[in-house]
Structure 1
Amino acid sequence: MKKDKTNFFSQMFLILLIVISLVPIFLVLVNSFKGHVDIVKNPLSFPTSLSFDNYKIAWETGKFSKGFINSIKLTSITIIIVLICSSLAGYVLSSKRIKGAGAILTYFMMAMTVPIQIFLFPLYYVIASLDLIGVVPVVSVILAATSMPLAVFLMRTFFLAVPKELEEAAIIDGATTWQVIWHIMRPIVSPGMITVATIVGLQTWNEYLITSTFLQGEESFTATLGFLSMNGTYSSDQGILMAAAVIMIFPIVVFFIAVQKYFVDGMVSGAVKG
C-alpha cells in the first residue's frame, strides 16, 4: 500500500510538471492564429477562425527560409566537429592512454567554468583581421570549442562503460587502433554520441551571443537571429511574434521527438560508470 501511494504521488507530480511545461507552448500555438487585439483582450481564448496570415508575415519578415538553411548548416558542422573531437578525446582519456591524462581532464573541467564573454573581443579581432566575419563554418568552430569540455566528459563516461576485454580481444586478433574505435567502440557508444549530438545541437540552434557577434548581415543570419530581429519591428503585434515563435519551436520539437529514445538510452547508459 505504501509503495502504491508513493508511485501514485510520483506520477501525479510528473503529470503536474508536464502540464506546467506544455501549457505555455500550447498558449503560444493558440495565440499564433489570433490578431493582436484578440490576444490583448483575452490571451486564454481560442481563435474564432484558423488564419495563417501571421505565419506568412512572420516567415517573410524573419527571413526564415534563409535563416533555417544557415541554422542547419551551423548546427550540422558544429555537431560533426564536436562528435569527432570529443569521441577521440574521450577514448584516449577513458583509460589514460597518454601521459598527463589527469591534467588534461582538469584543464577541461576548468574550461567549463570560464565564460565565453572573456574571449569575444580577441576572437572578434582575429576573425575580423582574417575577413571571416559572417562565415558560418568559422562560427561553428567557435561553438564547437565552447561545447567541447562537456562533450569530452560525456564521451569519456561512455567509453569507461565499455568492457576492456572487447578492446583487448580485437587487438589480439590484429585490429589497429582505428579499427577498434570504428568497428568495436563506435557501435557501443553510439547512444552516447546521439546524446552529445542532441545536447550540442539544441545549444547551437538556440545560440545567440556568439552568432549575433560573428554572423553580421541578414544573409548570414540564423533562424534565431531572424526571430530576434523581429522584436523591434513587430513588438506591438503579438500574433506575428507568436507565429514566429511556433516556427522556431517546431523543428526543435520534431527533432527531439525523433531522437528521444536514443537520448534517454544514452543518458541511462552514461550513468553506469563515471
Structure 2
Amino acid sequence: MSTAPLAVQTAPAPEQGGAAPRGSRPQVVTWIVLGLLGLYAIAPLLVFAGNALKSTQEIDANPLGLPQSWNWSNFAEAWERADMGPALLVSLVIAVATGLGVAVIATTAAYAMTRLGLPGQGGWILWLLVSSSLPIQLFLVPLVSWWSLLGLYNQPIGLVIIYLAIYSPFATLLVRSALLSLTKAYEEAARMDGAGELRVFTRIVLPMIWPTVLTAGLVAGLQAYNEFMLAVTFIQNRDFQPVALSLYSFQQGFTTDWSLVGAAGLIMALPVVVLFLTMQRRFIDGYASRGVTA
C-alpha cells in the first residue's frame, strides 16, 4: 500500500529589494522632525558660545560664523569684571536651599494627604491647584511691605521663603501622584511588625518614591537658580545678588562688548548644564513616569 506524500505549504520567500516595512517610513520622519527640533533648540546656544570666543570686531564682522581666533581669555575677564564668583555662590546656596526645602515640604505634605487621613482632601487639592496657577505678580506689593517689616528684604533667606511658597504646591501634587500609585501592602506589613509612622515613611515609602522627590527638588532648584523677577525686586544689596542679577548688571554696563557678555552667560549656564547631564536619567524618569493626579 503506497501513501501519497504530504504536501507541505511553505511561505513564499521575500523578494529581494522589496518594499520596506510599513513602520520604517514613519520612524524616519520622526527622527527627521526630532533632529530639526534639536537643531532649532541648540543653534542659538552654539552661536552664543561662538560669540563668547570672538573679539568685538569679529562679532561685528561675522556674528554667525565660527571664531577665527579662539579668545579663551574672555572667560577670565568676564569672571573678574562681572564678579561672578560671589554671585554664583549666592545662587547655588539659594538653589540648594530651595530644592531641599521644596523636597521636604512636598514629600511630607503629600504623605499626610494620602496616608494620614487628612480631613478636607478636596479642599487641600483645590488650594494647591489654585496657588500653583496664580501669578506671583499679584502679591509683589504686599510681599515687599511685609518683608521690609520682618527684616527679610535684601536677604537671601527672604527670597528662599518666597521660592518655597511658589514651587511647593506643584511639587506636592507631583509627589502625591507617586504615592497614590504605590501599593499599601508593604506599609501595612511594617505597621503589623510594630513600625511607627515615621519609620514607615522613612524606611518603606521614601525609598520607593525617591526618584519623584529628587525630580521635584531639582525642578525647584533650577527654577530658583534661573529666576530673575523676584530676585531683582527683593535683592538690592550687591553683596547678595544672585548670578542672574550679576549678569544683568554686567550686560547693562558693557552693552557693546558682546563677547564678554556671552562668556559671562556661559559661566552662568555651566552649573545647570553639568547638573542636568549628571542627573538626566533620574530627572527624566521621575518627571515622565508620574502624572499629576487630582
TM-score bracket, normalised by the shorter chain, equals over 0.9
Change (3 A) 1:148 1:80: same
Q: Displacement of 1:95 after TM fit?
A: 4.7
Q: Aligned in 2, Cα 1:272/1:216: closer, same or farther, shift over 3 Å? A: closer
Q: Distance in 1 between matches of 2:292 and 2:23?
A: 26
Match of 2:118 among 88, 98, 101: 98
After TM superposition, give the deviation of residue 204 of structure 1 in Å: 0.5
1:215 aligns with 2:235: yes
Alignment match, 2:195: 175
Task: Report the Cα offset of residue 2 of structure 1.
Answer: 2.0
Paired position in structure 2 for 1:166: 186
Match of 2:257 among 233, 237, 243: 237
Tell me if structure 2 keeps the 8 A contact 1:161–1:273: no
How far apart are residue 122 of structure 1 and its match?
A: 1.1
Q: How far is 1:96 from its partner?
A: 6.8
Is 2:127 the partner of 1:107? yes
Select which of 204, 209, 218 maps to 1:198. 218
Specify the code of the residue in structure 2 equivalent to 1:26: L
TM-score normalized by structure 2? 0.89
1:141 match: 161
CA contact (8 A) 1:64 1:226 kept: yes
Spell out the pairing of 1:25-44 with structure 2 (5 A cutoff): 25-44=45-64
Mapped partners of 1:272, 1:115: distance in 2: 20
Hey, what's the Cα distance between the residues in 2 that align with 1:273 and 1:149? Answer: 13
Matches within 5 A, 1:84-95: 84-95=104-115
After TM superposition, the score normalised by the length of structure 1 is 0.95
Of the three residues 56, 64, 68, the one matched with 2:76 is 56
The DSSP-based 3-state class of the residue aligned with 2:281 is: helix
Deviation of 1:84 (Å): 0.7
Work out the CA distance in 1 between the residues paired with 2:117 and 2:23.
47
Q: Residue 7 of structure 2 aligns with which residue?
A: none
**Number of the residue aligned with 1:119:** 139
Give the secondary structure class of the aligned counterpart of 1:112: helix
Q: Quick one: structure 1 residues 220 and 97, their matched pair in 2 at CA, closer, same or farther if it must change by over 3 Å? A: same
2:151 equivalent in structure 1: 131
Distance in 2 (CA, whole Å) between partners of 1:130 and 1:263 is: 36
CA contact (8 A) 2:190 2:200 kept: yes
Distance 1:272 1:7, change over 3 A: farther
* Range 94-103 or range 245-254, more displaced: 94-103
Say which one has the larger Rg.
2
Offset from partner CA, 1:29-76 (integer Å, 9 cap, x none) = 111011122112111222222222321221122211000110011011
After TM superposition, list the pairs within 5 Å mapping 1:254-269 onto structure 2: 254-269=274-289
Distance in 1, matches of 2:227 and 2:288, equals 27
What is the alpha-carbon distance in structure 2 between the residues aligned to residue 108 and residue 164 of structure 1?
Answer: 24
Do the aligned partners of 1:54 and 1:239 also contact (CA within 8 Å) in 2? yes
State the Cα distance separating 1:228 from its structure 2 match: 0.8
Distance 1:259 1:93 in 2: 29
CA distance in 1: counterparts of 2:82 and 2:201, whole angstroms: 43
Q: Which moved more, 1:76-85 or 1:127-136?
A: 127-136
Structure 2 residues not aligned, in runs of 5+: 1-20
What is the aligned partner in structure 2 of residue 10 from structure 1?
Answer: 30
Letter in 1 for 2:281: K
> Match for 1:82 among 102, 109, 114?
102
Q: Alpha-carbon deviation of 1:21?
A: 1.2
Quick one: distance in 2 between partners of 1:10 and 1:39? Answer: 36
SS in 2 for 1:236: coil
Match of residue 17 from structure 2: none
In terms of mean alpha carbon deviation, does 148-157 or 51-60 score higher? 51-60
Amino acid at match of 1:32: A
Structure 1 unpaired stretches of 5+: none
Structure 2 residue 86 is matched with structure 1 residue 72: no
Bigger Cα displacement from structure 2, 75-84 vs 92-101? 92-101
* Residues 167-186 of structure 1: per-residue CA shift (max 9 Å, x gap): 11111111111111111111
